[in-house]
Amino acid sequence: MRSMLLAALFATAASAQPTPQDARLGQIAAGVDAARMKSTVAKLVTFGTRHTLSSQTDKKRGIGAALDWTESEYKKLGLPTVRPCDTVTGKRVPNPTRVCNMVAIQRGTERPNDVVIITGHIDSRVTDVMNFTSDAPGANDDGSGTAAVIEAARVLSKHKFPGTIVYAALSGEEQGLLGGKILADYAKAQGWNVIANLNNDIIGNSCGSDGVCNDKVVRVFSEGPRWQGHEELAAQIRSLGGENDAPSRNISRFLDSLAERVPSIGLDVMQVWRNDRFGRGGDHTEFLNAGFPAVRMSVAVENYNWQHQDLRTENGIEYGDTIDKMDFPYLAKVTKLNVVALAAIASAPPPPEPTVEGAVSTDTTVTFAPVPGAAKFVVRWRRTDNNHWSEEQRHDGPPLVITECRVPGPACAELINAQRQKVVLPHIRVDDWVFGVSSVSRDGYESPVASAVPGGAFKPWVKPADNPPR
């Protein structure tokens, strides 16, 4: 390892000033169209029910017709599609049933193996989760998330990105996060380097049944200590920290920062530092179980009368998940945030995997291997009780890696190892701060931050014993 103190271009407190890159992201997101999204949800509702156990062969009604229609929308955009399926039996699937996702892949131009995935679930339900015959419009849960997936594909397929973007309509969520698991397994089998899964579930209403309304905020849920590997990581985290710095938490911070820097989105992020709503679940959890960073986006105010309900009126109160209850300008805003985040993540190389040293020292040393394709790195730190990265130092990356090591392989690995970077921060005590590093692309796009904590890397955590000998 070369011990090299990099020249800091400048060191300053981090700010949320918009950059030219942010302006371009805002322009891309301007392509999101609320009226078109309303047509998408209206179309999804016409399938009557999209219950996972409904017909897979009926041309007009049921989950099969809905998946076929989604495929045809992707095909119109010229995107290649795959339909990862698995035959499942379980508590909510009494007979072996084929559960399929409909996925479009926009292959990256430079780093096709680095993947960011947007998901929504296309299946719907009524009060009885096993009822697959009654009308279950699922307009908001989760026609809204599915519409966001399709709209993101429509908008982003017009542009090119160095990394790959995957658009996925998932089945089987209501029957037990089945589609999430199928896609996470598929991603693993493909060897995708999943930088983030942005899961959208119930993102299209703005008022609760108690009259509380909010169309200015979206909630982003993220786990804190990473669950995958938590038993092995627990002792290290107790000693070195990391309770608030899993990659998903840094995706959450990244989304919050993007929403501030791209004001044309028109939304604030409320970061909820919990994996999902109290005692409830969503498909992102299956990505987390597989070791992939993932967050869930959901409305600021849920309306419990309008989800998981038989269509009916009782005591003058309307129940059911129908399209007339939705707020499409709001749905468009949440979709814009997704589009901006997908474009940003697909534009920057993934963050490095930093480590930090400095116990009983007046200085802190942050070490990391450079990431191919990254022209610069930003070392960030914040007090342990600060929510956001407050301090930053920008550094040029080593030029050899940029020009000669874009294709992974043994020669590249050696080159990377020889150019490990070491940044010394004088008079900064490691005890009092959390440190992280992000990558910056040649054209100035910045990745989320990976924290220098146990389990902070943007890839599945692997027990040291499981690492193959080199």
Question: Closest separation between CB of residue 15 and Zn ion, Å?
Answer: 36
Question: Coil, strand or helix: which one is 85?
Answer: strand
Site for Zn ion in 107-136 (CB under 5 A): none
Question: Closest separation between CB of residue 21 and Zn ion, Å?
Answer: 33
Q: Which of 394, 388, 402, 406 is nearest to 451 (CA)?
A: 388
* CB distance 288 to 223 below 8 Å: yes
**HSE value, Cβ hemisphere, 13 Å, CA-based, for 283:** 37
Told to check if 215 binds Zn ion by CB under 5 A, we report: no
Q: In this complex, which beta carbon is closest to Zn ion, that of residue 71 or of residue 141?
A: 141
Beta bridge partners of 105: 166
Distances (CA, A) of 358 to 226, 237, 450: 24, 16, 18
How much is the CA Rg of the chain, to the nearest whole Å?
A: 22
The DSSP 8-state label assigned to residue 139 in this structure reads T
Choices 105-113, 196-204, 398-406, 455-463; region in contact with Zn ion by CB under 5 A: 196-204
Choices 201-209, 413-421, 433-441, 442-450; region in contact with Zn ion by CB under 5 A: 201-209
Question: Closest separation between CB of residue 162 and Zn ion, Å?
Answer: 32
Q: In this complex, which beta carbon is closest to Zn ion, that of residue 151 or of residue 201?
A: 201
* Residue written as token pair 């709209």: 151
Site for Zn ion in 381-420 (CB under 5 A): none
* CB distance 287 to 294 below 8 Å: yes
Told to check if 201 binds Zn ion by CB under 5 A, we report: yes
Q: In this complex, which beta carbon is closest to Zn ion, that of residue 22 or of residue 141?
A: 141
Question: Closest separation between CB of residue 281 and Zn ion, Å?
Answer: 9
The contact mask relative to Zn ion for 138-167 (x = CB under 5 A, - = no) is: ---xx-------------------------
Question: Closest separation between CB of residue 7 and Zn ion, Å?
Answer: 50
Q: In this complex, which beta carbon is closest to Zn ion, that of residue 181 or of residue 380?
A: 181
Q: In this complex, which beta carbon is closest to Zn ion, that of residue 25 or of residue 170?
A: 170
Question: Closest separation between CB of residue 66 and Zn ion, Å?
Answer: 15
Q: Using CA atoms, how far apart are residues 421 and 237, in angstroms rounded to an integer?
A: 24
Question: Closest separation between CB of residue 121 and Zn ion, Å?
Answer: 6
CA 46 to chain centre: 29
| Pairing status of strand 163-170 against strand 111-121 | parallel
Told to check if 22 binds Zn ion by CB under 5 A, we report: no
Q: Using CA atoms, how far apart are residues 289 and 174, in angstroms rounded to an integer?
A: 18
Question: Coil, strand or helix: which one is 464?
Answer: helix
b/e per residue 126-142 (b: at least 16 CB within 10 A): beebeebeebbbbbbbb
Choices 27-35, 200-208, 284-292, 318-326; region in contact with Zn ion by CB under 5 A: 200-208
Choices 84-92, 137-145, 188-196, 382-390; region in contact with Zn ion by CB under 5 A: 137-145
Q: Which of 102, 103, 104, 146 is nearest to 124 (CA)?
A: 146
Binding-site size, Zn ion (CB under 5 A) = 3
Question: Closest separation between CB of residue 169 and Zn ion, Å?
Answer: 12
Q: In this complex, which beta carbon is closest to Zn ion, that of residue 119 or of residue 257?
A: 119
Q: Which residues are near Zn ion by CB under 5 A?
A: 141-142, 201
